[in-house]
Amino acid sequence: MFAKLREKRLRSGAIAGVTTFIGMSAIAAVLVAASATPAIALAGLTANSTLGIFDNLPNYLEIGDLAEKSEIYATGTDGKPVLLATFYAQNREDVSLSQISPFIQDAAIASEDPRFYEHGGVDLYGTVRAILSNTLSGSTQGGSSITQQYVKNVLVQKAEAIANPVARKKAYEEATQVSVDRKLKEIKLSIGVEQKYSKKQILEGYLNITPFGGRVYGVQAAAKYYFGKSAKDVSVAEAASLIAIINNPSAYRPDLEENISDNQARRDYILARMLENKKITQKEYSAAVASPVTLTLTEASTGCQTAPFGAAYFCDYITWVIKNDEAFGKTEDERWTAFQRGGWKIYSTLSLPLQQAASGAVYGNIPTVVPWANVAGASVSVQVNTGRILAMAQSKDYTNDPELAATGGNFTSINYSTDKNYGGSSGFQVGSTYKAFTLAQWLKSGRGLGEMVDPRERPLQMNKFRDKCLGVGGADWKPKNNSGTYAGPVSVLQATTDSINLAFLSMAMKLDLCDIKLTAEAFDVHRADGNPLGESPSDVLGTQEISPLTMATAYAGVANQGRVCTPVAIDKIVDQHNVQLKVPQTKCTQAVTADVANAMVVALKTPIASGTATESNPRDGIPIIGKTGTNDNFNQTWIIASTTSVATAVWVGNVQGFFDVRNGSLNNGSARVTRHAIMRAVMTVADQFFGGVDWPGPPSNLMGGRNAVVPDVSGLTLEEGVKLLESVDLAVDGSCGTIDGAKASGRIEQTVPAVGTTLPTGTVVNICLSNGLLVTGPPSVIGQTEAAGSAFLLSKGWVVNVVYAAAPTCGGSGGGGSTATPTPTPTPTPTACPNPNQGKIIKQSPNGGSARAGATVRLTVQQ
């Protein structure tokens, strides 16, 4: 049964094949002409009325650029480019025919197209033989000339260069389908190619475009991969082995052990054809066929994981720049296809001396794996006035293999230095490094570094903060200082030196939280996850999650006279034709005035000179600013520093989890100082290669402080009094509590210091509240008799206590003595003196003023 079916199928196939052959034979005469004169053949194909199918086919093939690998370079110590990484969709190096061994050229012609130099693009004999075989037997047999194979490969390359995957698949299927239509198109295009290009050009193009298994294309890449040498240096046997692969790369590529014997058999066949065509001698043939296929496999490096100097994450950042920036194409697919196939030479901004210093410092101080915690670190440096990224290093090993990255441990594909949409994380809380933006807004508002602010730990009323964008509310907040206890006001300069939390919150209460956020954004500060930047009171202390690259850029803006330059990683790109491409440029904007920036510099010099960041200071004579940062849980630590040339951000903390960096250890040292060790090493090298100068001084109005006069708040409610005192930038405390007072109960009786006192702004003024027990004091009864005065006071509810003053003596103190005890008189008995006040009240206490109702009034009566 099966035999009958097979016979029937063969008969029907033969009939169809004969029909096809008859149709194909109609162009045989023209193909004969093509073997000699391609121009005549092409004209015949388009003019012959029996061959109308050719009318809609293109006459000539536009041969575009072949896919070539792209390379990323850094700048070495000597200023010359150093290769970091290579990328390719196809591993190919385009070379001229003179750089290809004659053995390879002869082997290709002998085996693939012996009549290459005789026909006009189509080998009639081979083509007709293939058509008969393919149509009558149902099997596929090659019969294409080198020119036809070249045309097919060009069409395949054009298809693979299409960025859109659907269109790419369709074009590839059209270029590779086994059909008469495709063969006709191939024939016509081949004749056109022969008309436009010389035989040498066609052979050169063919040897450069041909696939050699896997992602290896072209004889130069193939020779390097299989034999570890250039195409011009291969032996006769190696040349034949390479050309053997062309016939069927998957079956003859010798890097697969099961293919070696087949490759050798095909190689020997090619050697026999070369001998037959007198391209090699009998001696060369015999030696070649006697040799085994001996490989020196040399895998071409590709991807960022091969980048030296710990620069894999910087390399990865460049790939994200290419994917994200429309300068390289309309869609991400277009951009990535152009990068992998375009033969670009990308000259990056990376400085190898600084990169090596950063990588060495990070790896030297933070282990790639911390058994008890998921801890890591990163360091990134930018050039202050250009935004050029000079170094980028982190403590984990790079991989772009999702399975390897998922294992955790020392591998990750996440770049901790960058934003999420550039291959980075969602950022890390930046702690007190964020205080720089409250400082900036403080100075922008016209206040000075000498102004005093309240640093005391105390509950803060959320409604005391202002936010014109979102508003503020909520329960009282009880933030803490991490830098000690402060009883009195401190200057903004000292607050910056010691990084005093409550002092900066006091500053923020005099500003607007929205303005602080807008100032931060002016320094190009943004969240790493792309969400809007926060503006709550806690954000003043650095709760936002930001990338190190963003913070380095912001501090570079401070160091650059307030001018912020967005980061860039690419200096220049040239394509395979040495044509320079458009690359992303830095955008520089003025975040704050130069005066404000220079005042910020004065403040930010102090932490690294004598404050919380001193351990990061290289102390090499180059002026430097710096600020530390630690979040509430001590699981994220930062130091950001800058000279006038280079700004660096170092982060050491938890990728996940809550390892206490302040009290833990890394590499047998305190984790608290790890960030400082890295910064010191990086900035030492930065200073050596880039130098730095001092900044200009700020104007005096931004350096000094202000005074305020204590206003009269007596009789006001506590809320009213606090508001009035704070309106003149005085701090308020109620520690003197409630005292006897004449003001209504609960109202302010007095302040300490008193009304009218001149004080530095930020000084604490104590408010004393009245208990309301004081009334207008007793009226004066001085001069009245004892009886009249006492009676009057008693009638008003006062208690009276009478004491007596001794009568005056001549020569002694007269009436009005200050005591009630008679003064002893000397002997002899003195002469009596006039005593007009005798029996009258000469002193009273209290006398007017205020006193508690019913209090005792002491009267002194002259005897």
CB 75 within 8 A of CB 82: yes
Residue 749 has pLDDT above 80, yes or no: yes
Specify the CATH number of the domain 706-772: 3.30.10.20
The tens digit of pLDDT for each residue in 123-142 reads 877 666 666 665 555 544 55
Long-range contacts for 239-243 (Cβ within 8 Å, ≥24 apart)? 239/101, 239/103, 239/104, 239/106, 239/107, 240/103, 240/107, 240/267, 240/268, 240/270, 240/271, 240/274, 240/288, 241/267, 241/293, 242/104, 242/107, 242/212, 243/104, 243/107, 243/108, 243/111, 243/112, 243/270
- Rounded average pLDDT over 506-512: 96
Q: Which of 38-42, 461-465, 565-569 has the lowest mean pLDDT?
A: 38-42
Q: For residues 194 and 31, what is the distance between their CA atoms, to the nearest angstrom?
A: 13
What pLDDT digit, counting tens, does each position of 274-293 carry? 999 999 999 999 999 999 99
Q: Are 516 and 533 in contact (CB under 8 A)?
A: no
pLDDT digits (tens, 9 = 90+) for 216-254: 999 999 999 999 999 999 999 999 999 999 999 999 999
776, pLDDT greater than 50: yes
Is 2 a residue whose pLDDT tops 60?
no
CA–CA separation, 768 and 671 (whole Å): 48
Confidence band of 799 (pLDDT split at 50, 70, 90): very high
- Across 671-715, the runs of DSSP E, i.e. the strands, are 707-709
Res 840 pLDDT > 50: yes
- Amino acid (one-letter) located at 58: P
Give the pLDDT score at 824.
57
Spatial separation of the C-alpha atoms in residues 84 and 73, rounded to whole Å:
5
> Hey, which CATH number is domain 1-64+98-210, 1.10.150, 3.40.50, 1.10.472, 1.10.3810?
1.10.3810
Same fold, 706-772 and 777-862: yes
Q: Which CATH architecture is the domain 777-862 placed in? A: 2-Layer Sandwich (3.30)
Closest CA to 213 of 204, 205, 222: 222
Angle, helices 236-247 vs 282-290, to 10°: value is 70
Q: Round to whole Å and give the CA distance between 38 and 194.
A: 7
Quick one: pLDDT at residue 245?
98
Lowest mean pLDDT among 107-116, 124-133, 520-529: 124-133
* pLDDT greater than 60 at residue 35: no
What is the average per-residue pLDDT within 380-409?
Answer: 91
Q: What pLDDT does residue 567 have?
A: 99
Q: Confidence class of residue 827 from pLDDT cuts 50, 70 and 90?
A: low
Among 42-56, 488-502, 848-862, the range with the most confident prediction by mean pLDDT is: 488-502
The CA distance from 136 to 638, in Å, is 77
Alpha helices in 707-804 (DSSP H): 718-727, 786-795
| Cα atoms in the Cβ-side hemisphere of radius 13 Å centred on 782 | 10
pLDDT at 698 over 60: yes
Q: How far apart are CA 676 and CA 666, in angstroms?
A: 13
CA-CA distance, 685 to 688, in Å (whole number)? 5
Residue 212 and residue 295: Cα distance in Å, rounded? 14
pLDDT at 811: 56
Contact 205, 153 (CB under 8 A): no
According to the model, what pLDDT value does residue 22 have?
A: 43
Own/partner pairs, 475-484, CB within 8 angstroms, 24+ separation? 477/537, 477/538, 479/505, 479/538, 479/541, 481/455, 481/457, 482/630, 483/612
Q: How far apart are CA 190 and CA 291, in angstroms?
A: 37
What band does 12 get if pLDDT is binned at 50, 70 and 90?
A: very low
At CA 153, angle to CA 150 and CA 155, rounded to 5?
A: 110
Encode pLDDT of 138-161 as tens digits.
544 556 899 999 999 999 999 988
Output the CATH code of domain 214-302. Answer: 1.10.3810.10
- Ordered by start, the domain boundaries in the chain are 1-64+98-210, 68-87+309-705, 214-302, 706-772, 777-862
**What angle (nearest 5°) sits at the alpha carbon of residue 444, between those of residues 442 and 447?**
50
Residue 669 has what pLDDT?
82
CB 159 within 8 A of CB 175: yes
What pLDDT, on a 0 to 100 scale, did the predictor assign at position 67?
A: 85
CA distance 345 to 572: 8
Who wins on pLDDT, 817 or 173? 173
Does the structure show a pLDDT above 50 at 518?
Answer: yes
Per-residue confidence at 269, pLDDT binned at 50, 70, 90? very high
Tell me the average pLDDT across 719-744. 88
> 258-267, 658-667, 688-697: which has the minimum mean pLDDT?
658-667
The pLDDT of residue 8 is above 70: no
At 825, the pLDDT band (50, 70, 90 cuts) reads low
**pLDDT on residue 134:** 57
**Does the domain made of 68-87+309-705 have the CATH classification 3.40.710.10?**
yes
pLDDT confidence tier of residue 309, bands split at 50, 70 and 90? very high
| Tokens (6 digits) for 431 | 């702690």
Please write the tens of the pLDDT for every residue from 597-630: 999 999 999 999 999 999 999 999 999 999 999 9
Residue 106, both tokens: 């002869």
The DSSP 8-state label assigned to residue 416 in this structure reads T
Say how far apart CA 100 and CA 95 lie, in whole Å: 7
Q: How confident is the model at residue 668 (pLDDT cuts 50, 70, 90)?
A: confident
The predicted pLDDT at position 55 comes to 52
The share of the chain scoring above pLDDT 90, in percent, equals 68
> What per-residue string of b and e applies to 339-349 under the rule 16 or more CB within 10 Å gives b?
bbbbbbbbbbb
Give yes or no for residue 300 having a pLDDT over 70: yes
Mean pLDDT of the chain: 88
Cα distances (Å, whole numbers) of residue 687 to 388, 641, 675: 16, 12, 18
Query: Over the range 299-309, which residues count as b (16 or more CB within 10 Å of their CB) and which as e?
Result: ebebbbbbbbb
Token output for 678: 């890295």
pLDDT at residue 137, rounded to an integer: 54
More confident of the two residues 813 and 789? 789
Q: What is the pLDDT of residues 41-97, one digit of tens each?
A: 444 444 443 344 445 555 567 777 888 899 999 999 899 999 999 999 889 999 999
